[in-house]
Amino acid sequence: MTKPIRIAAQLSPGGVHSWQSWRDAVMWAEELGTDVIFGYDHFHRPAVEMTADGAALAAEQPDVHNFEGWTALAAWGEVTRSAEIGLLVSGVGFRNPDLLADMARTVDHISGGRLILGIGAGWYEKDYTAYGYDFGTTKSRLDLFDDSVVRIERRLAALTPQPLRHIPILIGGSGEKRSLPTVARHADIWHCFPLPIQEYRRKSKLVDDLAAQAGRDGSTIERSVAASAPFSTGFDRRSVDEFREAGVSLFTLEMQPTDTGYDFEPLVQALAWRGRRRRLTPDPRSVTPPVRR
C-alpha cells in the first residue's frame, strides 16, 4: 500500500536569534499543518558553500548561535500537539546508546507518542573535537553505528515503562556496503538526499532485496528524501512528483534562519502540493510567521 504524503520541516537552530524565535518557528510550522518537524544534532552549525561539485564544507567554520537538539526536543514535545518530532539525525558517537534509547523513550512520553528516532554515524569533525569525542575513521564510526543500533533496540525493549508506541527509527544514507544493509535490517524510515531518479529507484529496489534477505518486508520501510538540490530554492513539483512515483512519502525541507527569521514560503508551497496530491484543500493561514526578538 502506498503511504500517504507527509511534509517535514527541518528547522536548523544554527544562527537563530534566540531560543524563543526557534521555538516559535516550530510552533508556526505545526500551525501550518506540517507533519514532521526536525532539528539537527550538531553542537556547531556546519558552514557549507556551493562548489562546482555541489555542497562542501567551507574553509572557515565560525561559531554562531546554536542550541543542543535533545534538550530542545523535550521542550518541543510540550509546545506541539500533533506534529511528529525528531532530530535529523542524532549522532550515536555523542551518547551512550542505552542512554540515547532512554532519552528517546522519555521524549516519546513527553510528546504523547510523537518521536521519530533519527540516528546516524556522524560526520562533522568539529562537533567531535570541540567536545572531546573521538572522531575516528569512517569505518570506526560505521562500526560503532551498527553496534549502537542493536543496543538501542534492545534497551527500548527493556525499558519500564515502555514507549507509548513503537518509536520509528530513521536511518540516513545511500552507501550500498554499509548504510543500506543497516537500513534494511533496522530502519522504519530510510532517508537520503535526492539522487538521479533512476539511481534512486535502483537503490530503493536494493533496500527491498536486502530487507527480504533479513526477513523483512521492504515495503514497510518508509522512503524519505531531503529537500536539498533540486528543491532548496523552492518546491520543484516536477522533481518531487518523480520521487513520489518512485515510492517516496516523506519530503523534508531544510530551513535555515536569517536575520529576519525563517522563510516559510517553500514550506507553504510544499503543503499546498501535498494537499493537491491528497485531493484536499490545504489551509495555510498565512506565510508570515510571528516575529520574536
State pLDDT tens for residues 7-38.
Answer: 999 999 999 999 999 999 999 999 999 999 99
For the entire predicted model, the pTM comes to 0.91
**Residues above pLDDT 70, as percent of the chain:** 90
- For residue 259, what pLDDT is reported? 85
Can you tell me the distance from the alpha carbon of 183 to that of 118, in angstroms, rounded to the nearest whole number?
12
Determine the angle formed by the axes of helices 179-186 and 138-158, rounding to 10 degrees.
10
Q: What angle do CA 54, 57, 63 make, to 5 degrees?
A: 145
Dihedrals φ, ψ of 277, to 5°?
Answer: -70, -30
State percent of the chain over pLDDT 90: 74
The 10 Å Cβ neighbour count of residue 26 is 24
d(C-alpha 97, C-alpha 113), whole Å:
20
Residue keyed to cell 548561535: 65
Amino acid at 85: I
Question: Does residue 107 carry a pLDDT above 60?
Answer: yes
- pLDDT tens string 141-156: 999 999 999 999 999 9
The three cell numbers of residue 174 are: 545511500
**C-alpha to C-alpha distance for 128 and 117, rounded to whole angstroms:** 21
CA atoms of 172 and 120, how far apart (whole Å): 7
pLDDT at 170 over 50: yes
SS3 state at 89: coil
d(CA 293, CA 275): 33
- At residue 135, what is the residue type? F
**Number of CB atoms found within 10 A of residue 98's CB:** 16
What is the bridge-based pairing of β-strands 189-192 and 6-11?
unpaired
What pLDDT, on a 0 to 100 scale, did the predictor assign at position 282? 45
| Structure confidence at residue 95 (pLDDT) | 97
